């Protein structure tokens, strides 16, 4: 999930507290995920969900 981390670090993806979620342009998300395996994305999403609950 390096691509998503890069978006966050560069300020192109931000946390919206009242929505309890991340905000970024859809094309930025797709570009960040391009080339990452689906297993890595699913694994990272599961970890992220566990961390916030």
Work out the average pLDDT over 4-18. Answer: 92
Q: What is the pLDDT of residue 11?
A: 94
pLDDT at position 2, please?
85
At residue 49, the pLDDT reads: 46
- Residue 5, C-beta contacts closer than 8 angstroms, at least 6 positions apart: none
Query: What pTM was estimated for this model as a whole?
Result: 0.57
Q: Structure tokens of 5?
A: 């981390």
pLDDT in tens, 18-45: 988 999 998 888 888 886 655 455 555 5
C-alpha separations of 31 from 4, 9, 21, 25, 53 in Å: 9, 15, 19, 10, 28
pLDDT for residue 9: 94
């Amino acid at each position: 999930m390096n691509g998503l981390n890069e978006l966050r670090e560069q300020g192109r993806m931000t946390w919206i507290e009242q929505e309890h979620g991340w905000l970024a342009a859809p094309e930025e998300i797709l570009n960040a995920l391009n080339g990452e395996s689906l297993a890595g994305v699913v694994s990272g999403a599961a970890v992220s969900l566990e961390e916030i609950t």
